[in-house]
Amino acid sequence: VINLRKEEDFSEWYNEIVELAGITDKRYPVKGMNVWTPYGWKAMLLIDAVVRREFNRRGNSEVCFPLFIPEDQFSKEKEHVKGFDEQVYWVTHAGRNELDIRLVVRPTSETAMYPIFSLWVRSHADLPLKIYQIVNVFRYETKQTRALMRMREIHFIEGHTCHASFEDAERQISEDLQMMKAIAQALCIPYSIHRRPEWDKFPGAYYSLGIDTIMPDGRTLQIGTIHQYRTNFSVPYNIGYENEEGRREYVHQTTYGMSERLLGALISIHGDERGLIFPPEVAPIQAIIVIIAGGDDHGLAGYLSEVREVMTAAGIRFEVDDRDIRPGNKYYEWERKGVPLRLEIGQREMREREITLCRRDTGKRIAVRFEALAGTLVEMFDGIAQNLHDRASRFHGSMIHIVAGPEHLTTGVNRMWWCGEEKCGIRIEEISGASVLGTQEDSSTDGEGKCTICGRTTTLMVSVARSM
Amino acid sequence: VINLRKEEDFSEWYNEIVELAGITDKRYPVKGMNVWTPYGWKAMLLIDAVVRREFNRRGNSEVCFPLFIPEDQFSKEKEHVKGFDEQVYWVTHAGRNELDIRLVVRPTSETAMYPIFSLWVRSHADLPLKIYQIVNVFRYETKQTRALMRMREIHFIEGHTCHASFEDAERQISEDLQMMKAIAQALCIPYSIHRRPEWDKFPGAYYSLGIDTIMPDGRTLQIGTIHQYRTNFSVPYNIGYENEEGRREYVHQTTYGMSERLLGALISIHGDERGLIFPPEVAPIQAIIVIIAGGDDHGLAGYLSEVREVMTAAGIRFEVDDRDIRPGNKYYEWERKGVPLRLEIGQREMREREITLCRRDTGKRIAVRFEALAGTLVEMFDGIAQNLHDRASRFHGSMIHIVAGPEHLTTGVNRMWWCGEEKCGIRIEEISGASVLGTQEDSSTDGEGKCTICGRTTTLMVSVARSM
């Protein structure tokens, strides 16, 4: 058992859990680049599968663009370059030769994709163009790195769209928010949506929405971003189309980004002092069958194979632990790894034709009749997901506070009146020592108040938080 | 229609087909790095899914190792470095800093993985270690590049195993060959297995097996490699274990490599002058429903939705083409993209409650009763796969010749007597102007003959071919 409670020392708890559960191995000799171990990678692939399903369902097509971006192509949109300049890795040599044109290792793929988009989009019939890719990106992060949350090699999901008009691009953003909802639902992760302030939007964006969840220590973690680019990239990259009147127009673009932070958030939000807890939909192992060896076998193998058959037919990802060690040790190990459901089978279960089930999230044990197993499993998985979701939502809600001003900063998200001016926003950050997340998009503000800095009357509230 | 026959000018036919079918886009401005378009990437992901299924089924676990390898770690196995030295991309800068230790962009992952394996493997209980990953690798290729066949960014599948003994590693190689068989089966690709000659084995390997298929122009294409490393890497990377007697031993290692060439081979082998032909198992679109518009609808929409329902229930990947263009143009387009089966639905079909089916591989059209649709589809897909397989195997067999010596080289694979000496092998290459593939593993040689160079009596035959 882990001798740490996540509420007390979240950072240490998190680092220990990621290691003990075998998610990534941090002993790789390049800072900020970890090895995905089989269990962790399986979880990430299951999350990717949810993401793919939701993208595909909405008519987005998966592609894969090259990793390297020539320097001249990378530099076309000025704000974007400025934002990433200090964060990129440069390939300068190949074999024994120095390259004529240096290559950027993609930190994100706008500048890899957009010159090609200008070839793909010719007329209004080619719009909307909706593509996405799931690739690793590379950012020379200078802050302290943390597994799945702040790495230099990042498992990344990026959606890119082109539209005939600003309004079409806005509708795309609504669709992206629907998609975020579906993905977060599968992971049982609650979140708030903030429109980032001008000074913190994505380099090159017209505006940026941040999807923020809250860690056990009250700090926020951005698990997704959606950007409206308007024509900021399509002009320098010359992505245009002929409209129905035969006039050339620039496309309006959006992007949608998510990453391995989805897994990092899931671990942080659902885990406890015993280890991880996976929501069933993305659990690498949904159920572990633990054999309680009771001396001789007495036909236990036969009963086990009946149980296996039911599990396989129900399409459940399960494993059998028949190692010759104490059951308690097995329990600890699978709890640590976050397997949502444990099945115990021993002489007693076989005799009674029952199975003992134990839920990871509540620890509750019940016995079910063999005949009722398949149905009970489905119900239990639903129940576990619902409970994780409720528990997380309660916590999330409890961490959002309305405060009088930046000097009253407390843990979690602090909402306060704000006139909307950058000057006052920056002042809020200075006084609070925290970040302005922006104005909350998914929560309306009742009435009006006075800006906590300049005192002007306003209907806006801004969210302020310490972020990961 | 493409005005090229693959038998006459394979290279041009291939380049045109890849482009017209929309597999990859070669207009990306870095040489040897193409963009995977939605259709091509879908095909690649379906092939990856087959690969994953076969790896997982045999107890291999998927992982993901970092892209960058520090120079010192890359250089530990001398032969390996020598083999890749001129082919690697170097990251030398990050942000505005020059890196203390230069980073190699992985050309293959031995040197990324093995230092970590030395941490993962401690005792005989940790063996065998069987892992694989599907990632892109980077090789600064100096020969002319070709889509999916010789690229500088390569979609790559690499299996790595550690075993307690040489014999265990040999058994792994037998298992890998079974896996190759299952994967090739799904793609309907025939192949020969050659034990590569000493002078052409993988850098660092004890021996290498090459999986060779034959292109329409008679040149061979290596679509897979399996390497026995013995302890060549485990000694420099210090991967050892404590055996049951408590003595420390080095592990024996194998690797298994495949790539996007699987897709390149599939395109080359099955395509024809109309375009691609996908084996149903990996076809991005398995069936296209073409609506034959006959003036008014007269309830066609209703009939279509009945057909869709049957297709969905049968789990078939299909699309509906209801564009208002001439049916002939639709046919050409889907033929070009290699969709294995076309369904035609018009007024006549609706009236008779039939569907007209047309096979891409044979061009045969038949009408089936609506009630028989689901069953017929399954049968037809099996029939198409069988036909593609038979056709390809006949061609493959017809391209393997026994010849008297290197001066009699003909198209395809030329087998000739060889004493086994490197000196004679090199001479064979010089005289023939072709490559020695090695001795065929999956075909025994009857009797004995005289080495075509030195005249010594031998039971070995060597395969010689021009390779891609």
pLDDT band at B251 (very low <50, low <70, confident <90, very high): very high
Pairing of strands A220-230, A252-259: antiparallel
pLDDT band at B294 (very low <50, low <70, confident <90, very high): low
pLDDT tens readout for residues B106-130: 999 999 999 999 999 999 999 999 9
Q: Which residue is it, tokens 């040599």? A: A93
A45 interaction partners in chain B (CB closer than 8 Å) = 62
Round to whole Å and give the CA distance between B116 and B146.
Answer: 34
* Predicted pLDDT at A83: 87
3-state secondary structure of A363: coil
**Contact state of A65 with B95 under an 8 Å Cβ cutoff:** no
pLDDT tens readout for residues A222-277: 999 999 999 999 999 999 999 989 999 999 999 999 999 999 999 999 999 999 99
DSSP 8-state symbol, B118: H
Maximum Cα–Cα distance across chain B: 84
DSSP 8-state symbol, A275: B
In this model, does residue A123 exceed pLDDT 90? yes
Strand partners for B133? B158
pLDDT tens readout for residues B385-439: 999 999 999 999 999 999 999 999 999 999 999 999 999 999 999 999 999 999 9
Nearest to B435 by CA among B273, B200, B254: B200
In this model, does residue A302 exceed pLDDT 60? yes
What mean pLDDT comes out for the span B344-368? 96
User: Mean pLDDT across chain B, nearest whole number?
Assistant: 95
Round to whole Å and give the CA distance between B256 and B220.
Answer: 19
CB A68 within 8 A of CB A104: yes
* Predicted pLDDT at B380: 97
What is the DSSP code string of A397-436? Answer: HHTEEE-SSGGG--SSEEEEE--S-HHHHHHHHHHHTSEE
A33 reaches B (C-beta below 8 A): yes
Q: Which amino acid is at B35?
A: V
Q: Quote the Cα angle for B193-B194-B198, to 5°.
A: 155
**Contact state of B90 with A86 under an 8 Å Cβ cutoff:** no
A88 interaction partners in chain B (CB closer than 8 Å) = 94-95
| Residue B247 CB neighbours (<10 A) | 9
Report which of residues B208 and A296 the model is more confident about: B208
pTM across the whole model? 0.97
In this model, does residue B1 exceed pLDDT 60? no
Annotate A274-295 with b (16+ C-beta within 10 A) or e (fewer): bbbbbbbbbbbbbbbbbbbbee
* Predicted pLDDT at B22: 95
Round to whole Å and give the CA distance between B157 and B141.
Answer: 18
pLDDT band at B281 (very low <50, low <70, confident <90, very high): very high
pLDDT tens readout for residues B81-111: 888 889 999 999 999 999 999 999 999 999 9
pLDDT band at A446 (very low <50, low <70, confident <90, very high): confident
A108 vs A59, A234, B136, CA distance in Å?
A: 22, 16, 16
Nearest Cα residue in chain A from B83: A95
* Predicted pLDDT at B457: 96
What mean pLDDT comes out for the span A389-411? 97
pLDDT tens readout for residues A342-359: 999 999 999 999 999 999
What mean pLDDT comes out for the span A111-138? 97
pLDDT band at A77 (very low <50, low <70, confident <90, very high): confident
CB B426 within 8 A of CB B406: no
Who's near A455: CB < 8 A, 6+ residues apart?
Answer: none
pLDDT band at B324 (very low <50, low <70, confident <90, very high): confident
Round to whole Å and give the CA distance between A280 and A378.
Answer: 10
* Predicted pLDDT at A1: 56
* Predicted pLDDT at B80: 84
ipTM of the complex: 0.96
Taking the alpha carbons of B82, B84, B89, B91 in that order, is the dihedral positive or negative?
negative
B residues 77-136 closer than 8 Å to A (CB): 85-96, 103, 105, 112, 115-116, 119, 131, 136
pLDDT tens readout for residues A378-394: 999 999 999 999 999 99
Q: How many contacts (CB atoms, under 8 Å) link A and B?
A: 138
Percent of chain A, pLDDT > 70?
99
| A66 → closest Cβ in B30, B64, B86 | B30
Half-sphere exposure at residue B349, Cβ-oriented, CA atoms within 13 angstroms: 29
Token code pair at residue A49 = 């599968």
In this model, does residue A444 exceed pLDDT 90? no
* Predicted pLDDT at B79: 86
A267 vs A23, A155, A224, A330, B323, CA distance in Å?
A: 10, 16, 16, 21, 47
| B35 → closest Cβ in A30, A62, A63 | A63
Report which of residues A72 and A445 the model is more confident about: A72
* Predicted pLDDT at B295: 58
